[in-house]
Structure 1
Amino acid sequence: MTRLAFFVALLPSLSLVFAQDLGVPTTWREFNNSRLLAERISIAKSAIDTILPQLDTSNGQFDGIGFWQSANVFSSMANFDHLASSTVYKDQVINGLTAAYKTYPNFDPNGYNDDAMWWATASYYAYRAYGDSTMLSMTVAIWTRVSNYVVSLADAKAGKQPNKDFTIAGTCYGETMAGGVFWRPTSDDTGINSITTGLYTTLSAYLAETTGDSTYTAAATLSAQWIQNLQISSSGIILDGVSGADCTRTAASWLFTYNSGKYIEGLSVLKDVTGAAIWKSLMTNITAAAVKSPVWQGSNGIITEGASKTSDNDGVGFKAIFIRGLDEVSVRSADNSALQILIHSYNDVQYNALLELAANDGCVGCDGYSDQHEFAVNLNFS
């Protein structure tokens, strides 16, 4: 597809995502949950406790899963305590994040800005759960560093980004590239993607909400606009990435749950920070599109992304991010009962599938460790 053809195809996307049906599909498998809160807390705790023996306390890593997914186990532990109003995992979370920060400068041993922000996000969740100022300081430090790889309005106009050694595309498909975040900090890497930009949007919004500093609000808004203008498909699904040098897109088949999940999480916070109706509307309609997308689930509603019969994989972590984003949207949507019911029903589909189909022919995560990992980050308290 030529750039012009792609732009023409993209033009209707923003209007199409504004008319989503919030009804619960009757074909979804078991979209309700009768378990009491105490039982759900117990199940979630058991899942986390299954993973904890894999923790290397010297560096904050969990055996069997990748660097970024280790950060998300800490996120799930901090969010468990946040949602359960407890401090069960406080020591493990704070000590683990601190160990990782000391071991891996800037939370980035492999040269990826999204890796750094997965860990910074875990640090923010830890701050939210425990009020530990060191966790907030770590979050701000990583946000500040990654901010060096955001395309500013001035960068887009000049066609140059201070930390890149190539001419950047100021616009792609008729839209400014301002707000996009480079995936890697290396001077020659051209990739800008939705997950890195979505992480930055979300972290900026949380920091704006926490500190009241308009610098964070402006950063969150600009990056949210980049995704809004360039990265939404005609069906309301968040696309993956685009070259900051020549606007080349990643493969059309690269559609992953976590791109939509992280973006709607960021929008849910940004709408509260700004009070802007556009973010609330966009959040609602992208959420509805994502939970009904045939890209990653069948008519029964069960997410199939990341299924493997032999090992853990990134896709298992992707859908965990999606569920976490949906939870944040639900918590912040008390004025939209239809949206809350849709999310509650969808999450119950995933929750019941994990309880009843995991590690058998129903697949879900397929192997026990993958299932336990996903379970730990999908804390269904709703």
Structure 2
Amino acid sequence: MVLRAIHNAFNPILHDPRIAEPAQSASDTATPPISTPWPHRPDETLPAITQQAISVLLLSTDPHSGQISGLGYWQTANAYSAIALHDIWSSSCSNLPSMHKNLRTILSRNPHCINNFNDDTLWYAHLLLLLSAPSSPLPSAIGSNDYLTHCHEIHKHISRFVLPPGTRDVQGRDVSASVLWKSDNDCREVNSITTSLWAEFCARLACAASSQDTEGREGEGRDAAREGGWEGDRAVRLVEQAMASLDFVFRYLYDRDEDVVYDTLKLETGEVVRWCFSYTTGQTIAGCVAVHEAVRALGGKFGDERRRKANEFLVLAMRMAGKTVRRREWIQDGVVVEYGAYGPENHKAWENDDAVGFKSVLVRSLGKLWKYLRKMTEEDGRVEGVGPREMVDLCDDIDRIVRRTYGSLQTNCTNGIGQYGPWWTGPMDMSTCHSQMAVLDVMAVMRLMIE
């Protein structure tokens, strides 16, 4: 679905770009009545620009489903996660009530946000955990503590599709702790995005348990954690699950020469599908950061071996990020593009394609790494094999890439009223729900860096 209030390639009518229209279903091609006023931008400051971009996308929310019209199920979770991170990282609560409202509508239609694609389910697991009371430093909407209960149900569900110890593919390789892409009985593929999403989810769920335990949070949220078994040894097991899953990714889907993560391993043929999208590497970076953060948070619960393992993961995350910010296939003149996945030479701007948002996951993951490395340097944290100067230099590289990308969005990729196109180096061309969603992670990371 082309983002409303912009010229639709299938409808020659050029709508007034200052006015938004109600959501359309896929089958509704008639122009609906114009109603909702366009989000106002009071000034040209970063907070005003980022909030307008968010508000423009939220105009496309379907109140009946809670999802964003024109986005798929998993990309709606991605959009809401970017918006939630924007509020959390900027110490603002502007959009959290809308996030809670829409998420509760989704939960009412999709119990625990579970569907047959395990990666879809895990994108929602990340969102639920992000908005849960123990995870967020901001006041959450009433009742958000039960999000941890949904996280527990998702963990139980996905655990059924995590390959157990001793599992081998047709070539005899140990594929234990990898995660099947789908919950269908005939699924025989594991992939890096699902497995690394699982790794980050397990590690951050362990952090949430640790946070409840150490901060002595009272009430419903802590009780839910106890009932779900998320305290004490359970948190340690969650981190160990995360480590095992990352181990699989680095055994078979990681290219040590290029420092990228490939897409899929087919269990019945042993074939590695060497698709190299930025979000598979990005999400693996995020999983590594989450594991290291969890091990630090749990302190003495881990011995030297596990701490060394966590350090190895963080070093790998830094290696991948260091190569990423210089990878010509993903970065053009200092701007994140990944035109190989979705670019002007292989796509049309009006195509509402998931690939538009792949690079946004990379930007989000780089933001998480930047945030954690900054914290490590401020606390004089030590990582074996990495000096403080290396952490600072990588943070500077990430900072520079994100700022240049944001600057290019404002100069080359917008019509000036809060809409953004898919080509981040320009021209703006046309705005779709996918292209609008994709820029929100850049906005969120900019708020993180400026605050």
Task: Confirm or deny: 8 A CA contact 2:266 2:272 kept in the other structure.
Answer: yes
2:374 equivalent to 1:325: no
2:342 equivalent to 1:306: yes
- Change beyond 3 A, Cα 1:170–1:122: farther
Which of 125, 130, 136 is the aligned partner of 1:125?
A: 130
Which of 260, 278, 281 is the aligned partner of 2:281?
A: 260
- Change beyond 3 A, Cα 1:362–1:343: closer
Which of 307, 313, 329 is the aligned partner of 1:279?
A: 313
Which of 239, 242, 247 is the aligned partner of 1:217?
A: 239
TM-score of the aligned structures, taking structure 2 as reference length: 0.69
* Equivalent AA in structure 2 for residue 342 of structure 1: D
Equivalence for 1:97: 103
Q: Which structure has the higher relative contact order (CA within 8 Å, separation 6+)? A: 1
Task: Confirm or deny: 8 A CA contact 1:61 1:70 kept in the other structure.
Answer: yes
* Equivalent AA in structure 1 for residue 251 of structure 2: N
Give the drift of 1:364.
Answer: 6.9
* Equivalent AA in structure 2 for residue 322 of structure 1: L
* Equivalent AA in structure 1 for residue 239 of structure 2: T
TM-score of the aligned structures, taking structure 1 as reference length: 0.80
Aligned counterparts, 1:222-237, within 5 A = 222-233=244-255, 234-237=257-260
- Change beyond 3 A, Cα 1:171–1:202: farther
Provide the aligned length of Structure 1 versus Structure 2. 328
Whole-Å separation in 1 of the counterparts to 2:240 and 2:396: 32
Give the drift of 1:171.
Answer: 4.1
* Equivalent AA in structure 2 for residue 53 of structure 1: L
Which of 72, 80, 84 is the aligned partner of 2:86?
A: 80
Structure 1: which 5+ residue stretches go unaligned?
A: 1-37, 160-167
Task: Confirm or deny: 8 A CA contact 1:170 1:177 kept in the other structure.
Answer: no
Task: Confirm or deny: 8 A CA contact 1:258 1:321 kept in the other structure.
Answer: yes
Task: Confirm or deny: 8 A CA contact 2:192 2:280 kept in the other structure.
Answer: yes
2:56 equivalent to 1:50: yes
Whole-Å separation in 1 of the counterparts to 2:394 and 2:424: 32
Task: Confirm or deny: 8 A CA contact 2:243 2:291 kept in the other structure.
Answer: yes
Give the drift of 1:57.
Answer: 2.3
Which of 423, 427, 430 is the aligned partner of 1:367?
A: 430
Whole-Å separation in 2 of the counterparts to 1:182 and 1:229: 16
2:179 equivalent to 1:145: no
Give the drift of 1:108.
Answer: 3.8
RMSD of aligned alpha carbons: 2.1
SS in structure 1 at match of 2:244:
helix
Task: Confirm or deny: 8 A CA contact 1:170 1:178 kept in the other structure.
Answer: no
SS in structure 1 at match of 2:50:
helix
SS in structure 2 at match of 1:192:
strand
Give the drift of 1:271.
Answer: 1.2
Give the drift of 1:55.
Answer: 0.6
Task: Confirm or deny: 8 A CA contact 1:204 1:220 kept in the other structure.
Answer: yes
Work out which of the two has the higher radius of gyration on C-alpha atoms and give 1 or 2: 2
**Percent identity of paired positions between Structure 1 and Structure 2:** 20
Task: Confirm or deny: 8 A CA contact 2:334 2:401 kept in the other structure.
Answer: no
Task: Confirm or deny: 8 A CA contact 1:262 1:325 kept in the other structure.
Answer: yes
Whole-Å separation in 1 of the counterparts to 2:209 and 2:171: 31
